[in-house]
Amino acid sequence: MRQAERALFDLRRGLPILLRQPGRDAVVSAVEGLDDAALAAMQSLTGSQARLVLSQHRMAALGQHDAAEAVALALSPLPPSRGLRELAWMRNAALPADSAQTQGTAIERAALRLLGRAQLVPAAIACDIAPDRAEAVAAEVASGRLLAVTATEALQLCESGPGTLTRISEARVPLAEAENSRFVLFREADGVHEHVAIVIGDVADWPQAVPVRLHSSCLTGDLFGSLRCDCGEQLRRGVAAINALGGGVLLYLSQEGRGIGLANKLRAYGLQDEGLDTIDADQVIGFSEDERDFRVAHEMLELLGVKQVLLLTNNPSKVEALQHAGINVVARRAIYGEVTEQNQRYLKTKASRHGHWLHDLLNEQGEPASSAPESLPAPATIARD
């Protein structure tokens, strides 16, 4: 999968790549960062009209609720790059009435999956290779100026999860809430994502069920104390709670904005300021309600030798993800931040639409009380997909 991993870097740099499937090749590029000169160069190289590729979530935001996973749009006339960006993620954009839509093939699906994994807006430009331009495109590939990847290889990379994690480095890092702490850094095979396990206490003295918290990175909340969320408080309270329980592990996962990345999270914040909730804002940009992959947490725990956990979470998806991966979640405990004027709507959305166990916390604000049991069934009783 080395070529597919390299494709992530090229797409993030704004470079096009060549995606191949049997009987068809296409040059694709991210709409994000695309300018008119790059768009013209793609069409000149391939000898074909560019098509806009959007995700089913973006199509739903545009009013097309029965779209396939990837949709290719033939637009005539083709808008300039600015117009393509508007169609890709602007809230009030509308599809031209005469746009021709076709269900995307493996190439379109692979393009969107790669962009999502690279934490770019999942919107692509695709140009098929005209027969009389095949030699010119082959020359670009041979020279190294254009990276060629099979759609199958790209899809396998994106469906395989984080791949083989490598334990890179570690050091003792005393924390205000837990002085006896050690940071262990893991790197994914694609070289893009790094995650940190904060090991609290003496490993030899851990209980049979190790206290664990999965915390997705949140630059705005964790570092700057943003009032829009409760992430920073949950992070620090999570460390303190694990320390009070005698030690355990906090996994700090590089999955900003529920997996969409910081740039897209800030785009979503702008849409929330216009009245959308967090889930609808992510859909406008083209993402699902949660793009995180908690398989990486399972691999980190495996490498740390943790088999049974007491999970500190309000999120049922985290419990299910670890259970399905084979980690025995024997119990869970709530871990709350403070409800403020600025984050109340965000927390209510997590409770009502994500199903988070926050109703006991929000009950103080006049919401219906509801909670999940502290003890949980063994993995064998959890339904499998």
Distance CA 326, CA 323 (A): 5
Structure tokens at 115: 């962009």
Average pLDDT value for residue range 361-374: 47
- What pLDDT does residue 82 have? 95
Distance of CA 72 to the CA centre of its chain: 22
- Closest C-alpha among 186, 182, 214 to residue 198: 182
CB atoms within 10 A of CB 334: 16
Amino acid at residue number 296: V
pLDDT in tens, 86-95: 999 999 899 9
Which residues, 6 or more positions from 173, have their beta carbon under 8 angstroms from its beta carbon?
181, 182, 183, 198
Report pLDDT digits (tens) over 347-366.
Answer: 666 655 555 655 666 665 44
Is the N-terminal amide bond of 162 cis, ω within 30° of 0? no
CA atoms lying within 13 Å on the CB side of residue 255: 20
Regarding beta strands 147-150 and 100-103, do their DSSP bridges make them parallel or antiparallel, or are they unpaired? unpaired
Q: Which residues contact 384 (CB under 8 A, 6 or more apart)?
A: 324
Average pLDDT, the chain: 86
Q: Which residues are catalytically annotated?
A: 290, 292
With tokens 């004027």, the residue in question is: 341
What does DSSP say about strands 24-30 and 17-21: parallel, antiparallel, or unpaired?
Answer: antiparallel
Q: How far apart are CA 114 and CA 91, in angstroms?
A: 23
pLDDT tens, residue by residue, 110-138: 999 999 999 999 999 999 999 999 999 99
Q: Give the SS3 label for residue 200.
A: strand
pLDDT at 294: 85
190: three-class secondary structure by DSSP: coil
Which pLDDT belongs to residue 369? 35
pLDDT tier, 157 (very low <50, low <70, confident <90, very high otherwise):
confident
The identity of residue 217, as a single letter, is S
Q: What's the pLDDT at 348?
A: 63
What pTM did the predictor assign? 0.85
- Residue 189: name the closest of 98, 276, 296 by CA: 296
Collect all residues with Cβ–Cβ distance below 8 Å to 380 and sequence separation of at least 6.
none
Rounded to whole angstroms, the Cα distance separating 104 from 121 reads 17
Q: What is the mean pLDDT of residues 270-285?
A: 91
